[in-house]
Amino acid sequence: MKKNILTIVISVLLSGLVAYGVGKSSNSEITSMLENPAAGDVYRTVNLAQTEYPDFTYAAESAVDAVVFVKVTVKTQTQQYIDPFFRFFFGDQGPQTQEREQKGSGSGVIIRPDGYIVTNNHVVENATKVEITLNNNQTYEAKVIGTDPATDVALVKIEAEGLPTIEFADSDKLRLGEWVLAIGSPLGEELRSTITAGIVSAKGRSMPNYDGKFKIESFIQTDAAVNPGNSGGALVNKAGQLVGINTAIVSTTGSYTGYSFAVPSNIVRKIVEDLIDFGSVKRVMLGVSIGQVTEEKMKDLKLSSLKGVYINEVTKGGSADKAGLRKDDVIISLDGQETNSVPALQEKVNGYHPGDVAKARIIRNGEEKTVDITFLGVDEQNGSVAPDGSVAFYGSYLASPSKETLQRLGIKSGVEIVSVGSGKLMDAGASEGFIIQYVNDQPVSRPEDVVEIARKSKRAVFVEGVTAYGKSSYFGFGKE
């Protein structure tokens, strides 16, 4: 009778563990415990079950002190028009400019003990004053070291030493379904140092309506609750390491509805290292127009799967062109990391510096091969000479026009845009065949003239000339 009662008690305990779904023991291990129902065995089984609950205490406690509250002041100018009634008596004085101060807030992450803090560009953009409040309530005025609108990353610094920091993790190693914590100050200072949990819902995600200069869209998507004010805060793994910077939400209400996005830590680390070491981001250009592999493309290019990114066009003289890549090549990996989507390739390329060499695995005519790519920088590329003699200029290429072209257009000299690639000329609306006659009101007759005048310009470049069809036209772009 005693044995039966004992069996019933242990069976009830076991059924409780199974119902909660937290036991890690196998069926054979559980059977062994039942056959030897010592008190110690039951106690150890309960402790084992408790460890299976997600425990974020270490990650939260080790990371929370390195997440700060960011308060910004932005001055805006508005025009105030005088009421017609007052104009009748006091005369028409026109619109009056009025300066206003606006307050905003966000979050930031301390990445070095000497006061370097990473946040979002949109948090500190146009700010005239930036204040940082630590988790211990100390407040400092911060200086903006640099920003990168393309990735929405910014770096600020406070004068302090011995600050708590968060260690960078390798965001490439994140796995779908992995637990992560979002730490920040949602909805203002009152909810400072709020911690929420979720999982990695997707990687390499593009966001609807995201507008960036280079459109580097390779976000980590999570379901950790993030609201306005979390921007610039930390996304950490269970080890308390930084895997991303919380940046945005997708919502029809303006508040969290289940979708939050973070810039991967590998991108963030590269950006802030450049800002610290060089004062600006040293970005490279692959020099290709790319697209996702479709079923139609898979058949046309004799591919065995939909994996990879195919090349629509190769910019003459660019990194890909010099490496021997061609139209309709399919890039399946860079330095051993698979590039199965456009965002994945963009993220990987963004991690390189000018002069870096990467091994690209490609498929050409149904066969795999490896190609070494030496990356050219966006700025360093200006003035470099391609094998055909054309000169690189902000992602495009210039050359001296032929005599026939000059005669056809009825002009004596100029510089022809022979190809237009991603960069400032393309953004300004330049087209192939355009003949540049003047740059900043100075006549040009050689590609080197264009490069030199633009180099000396402090703020902007203004170009005048004629289109390939002989119509006078002009365009301009800022250097910053």
Q: Are strands 179-184 and 234-236 parallel, antiparallel or unpaired?
A: antiparallel
Report helix, strand or coil for 76. Answer: strand
Longest Cα–Cα distance in the chain: 113
Question: Catalytic residue positions?
Answer: 122, 152, 231
**CA–CA separation, 457 vs 63, rounded Å?**
45
- Provide the residue type at 459 as one letter: R
**CA–CA separation, 192 vs 229, rounded Å?**
9
The residue to which tokens 């994996």 are assigned: 307
Please answer whether residues 224 and 245 qualify as being in contact, where contact means their C-beta atoms are separated by less than 8 angstroms.
no
- Provide the residue type at 390 as one letter: S
Please answer whether residues 404 and 324 qualify as being in contact, where contact means their C-beta atoms are separated by less than 8 angstroms.
no
**CA–CA separation, 219 vs 334, rounded Å?**
19
Alpha carbon distances (Å) from 28 to 21, 24, 31, 46, 150: 17, 12, 5, 17, 56
Residues 6+ apart with CB under 8 A from 6: 37
What is the DSSP secondary structure assignment for residue 46, as one 8-state letter? Answer: H
Between the two ends of the chain, the Cα-to-Cα distance in Å is: 87
**CA–CA separation, 223 vs 257, rounded Å?**
9
Please answer whether residues 311 and 325 qualify as being in contact, where contact means their C-beta atoms are separated by less than 8 angstroms.
yes
**CA–CA separation, 75 vs 373, rounded Å?**
45
Report helix, strand or coil for 418. Answer: strand
State CA 132 to chain mean position distance: 23
Sign of CA dihedral 343, 348, 354, 358: negative
φ/ψ of 249, rounded to 5, equals -130, 160
Residues 6+ apart with CB under 8 A from 37: 6, 10
Nearest to 130 by CA among 284, 119, 81, 306: 119
**CA–CA separation, 399 vs 209, rounded Å?**
37
Please answer whether residues 450 and 436 qualify as being in contact, where contact means their C-beta atoms are separated by less than 8 angstroms.
yes
